[in-house]
Amino acid sequence: MSEERTQADLVAFAESRGGRLLTETYGGWGEPHRWVCGREHEFRASPRLLIDGGYWCPECLPTVDDASGWDWDFHAEVDPMLARFHMGRRSSS
């Protein structure tokens, strides 16, 4: 299944997170690609880590130690996926 991924899939994924794919050629599911998040942080990560693993920008994502500093509103402004999740959390409470 993973072998069927294309450059277009990665571009669409990046856009769904409010960012962009900087790598111009799909290099493989487990190979590092360059990305930029909606806050203009550049980072390298494999499609597998981001899409299967659910990770995104390492500068924006909270760590376990820093969970209290996670600013949902700030990140949801630029990340459509987080915005949907954020609204879902808000409306269910």
CA gap 52, 74 in Å, rounded: 24
Closest distance to Zn ion from the beta carbon of 89 (Å) = 20
Cross-strand bridge partners of residue 74: none
Closest distance to Zn ion from the beta carbon of 59 (Å) = 4
Closest to Zn ion by CB, 2 or 61: 61
Residue of 44, 56, 50, 43 whose CA lies nearest to 82? 56
Residues near 92 by Cβ (< 8 Å), separated by ≥ 6?
none
Closest to Zn ion by CB, 25 or 54: 54
Closest distance to Zn ion from the beta carbon of 66 (Å) = 14
Closest to Zn ion by CB, 29 or 43: 43
